Structures are given as C-alpha cells and as structure tokens.
Amino acid sequence: MDSLEHLFLVGEFPERARLLSGLTLEQVTLRPDGASHSIYEELWHAAGYQRFILEGGGPER
C-alpha cells in the first residue's frame, strides 16, 4: 500500500459518511457567523483537492 492510499482511503481520517452521519442538510450547509465556509463547502474543497492530487494534477515536473 502506498502512502497516498493509506492517507486518503484506509488510514488517517474517518470516512466522510461517518463524519456526517446524523447531521441534517441544514446543519452541513449552515455558515456560522464569522466562518468563511460551511461544512459542505469545506468537504467539497477537500474532495476536489484530493482528486486533483491523486490524478496527478499540478505543475509539470
């Protein structure tokens, strides 16, 4: 198993479904006063960045 597989698929972080279980759509889309993003927006960004890295995005080497 390589380090990216461990980090993103099996290791360091709980599954998104487990993290969000029990939360309503209203809760995950709420942007509290002073917060720059909602839970949904943060996860959308993290998932997009993860996909970008895993697909080999970034500057040419």
The predicted structure's pLDDT at residue 30 = 95
- DSSP codes, 8-27: IIISSS--HHHHHTT--HHH
Average pLDDT over residues 12-20: 75
Where along the chain do its domains lie?
Answer: 23-56
For residue range 28-37, what is the model confidence (pLDDT) as tens digits?
999 999 999 9
Please tell me the predicted confidence (pLDDT) of residue 57: 72
Mean pLDDT of all residues in 12-22: 78
Among 41, 36, 43, CA closest to 14: 43
